[in-house]
Amino acid sequence: MSQDTLPIALVQQRCDGAPEANLARSLDGIAEAARAGAALVVLPELHRTPYFCQREDVAAFDLAEPVPGPTTERLAEAARTHGVVVVASVFERRAPGLCHNTAVVLDRDGRIAGRYRKMHIPDDPGYHEKFYFTPGDLGFRPVDTAVGRLGVLVCWDQWYPEAARLMALAGAELLLYPTAIGFDPAEPADEQARQLEAWRTVQRGHAVANGLPLAACNRTGFEPAPDGAGGIRFWGASFVCGPQGEWLASAGEEETVLLAEIDRGRTEAVRRIWPFLRDRRIDAYAGLARRYLDEPQP
């Protein structure tokens, strides 16, 4: 690995089996990525389990576990064995009735370098996450690792420019999004296409606006609803882009280990020609801390 480049891998996998089978897929993906030379491996959101948030079910809380815990121990062993940094997603049990959707960063020596608890929690048809997850309370803090300072966010966070910006302002060198998003198979094809393109576009916009490379690792495959009515076809489409939104690698809907090389010097070069952080009007943004500007400011 050159000091000027960072080889990364996204493990785009199905997550529709038993937890042990899903975790085995993740571990196989980490091993394959390491053999291909990756120094950083990103897994999809909640990769150990089927997407249980399709309905509200108190029994699903049995899937939660502490951090550190059994899953992070297995992943730490893989990180240490292969000498790679791993970004994993865990249903974190913090206390009875208090759980988070948490991204855990395991350094290449296997230690937990840091964690990020998902801040924006959706509640949409088929995505009943507010029933399960307490909003994060760790803020938008990058995690320092052997491969650099990682700005880790999770899925629904990817629609919010504020989250990416705050990670950038805190010194993130790379934006990473473990993700679980897909189509409602009943929606028409043109609507599905619009949703996928919007997802790609908004994240590439975060890369451009902050002058940072970005990687989004999504799960793939159809997961039926627990009651048998409908389900979600996770669209895969994991990708890596550079700090001007340029495509570095992209996947379709197949299971794959997506590889990309990130040029570590591009952020410096791009920010010199597009100095967006320099030209921010921080004296004029007070309204961003308000829900909506429907009343005059005092």
| pLDDT mean across residues, the chain | 96
Range of the domain at 217: 5-289
Question: Annotated catalytic, 45?
Answer: yes
Residue range 56-83: average pLDDT?
97
> What is the distance, to the nearest Å, from the Cα of residue 20 to the centroid of all Cα atoms in its chain?
21
Domain containing 204 — which CATH number? 3.60.110.10
Confirm if 246 and 267 have CB atoms less than 8 A apart.
no
Catalytic residue among 53, 99, 118, 223: 118
Residue range 171-196: average pLDDT?
96
pLDDT tens-place string over residues 241-259 = 999 999 999 999 999 999 9
Q: At what angle do helices 19-35 and 70-82 cross, to 10 degrees?
A: 20
Confirm if 179 and 44 have CB atoms less than 8 A apart.
yes
In a domain, 79, yes or no: yes
Range with the poorest average pLDDT among 14-18, 131-135, 240-244, 253-257: 14-18
Number of domains in the chain: 1
Catalytic residue among 45, 92, 173, 223: 45
Catalytic residue among 15, 53, 155, 217: 155
In a domain, 270, yes or no: yes
Give the chain's radius of gyration (CA, Å). 19
pLDDT tens-place string over residues 207-220 = 999 999 999 999 99
Question: Annotated catalytic, 155?
Answer: yes
pLDDT score for 298: 61
Confirm if 222 and 232 have CB atoms less than 8 A apart.
yes
In a domain, 296, yes or no: no
Question: Annotated catalytic, 118?
Answer: yes
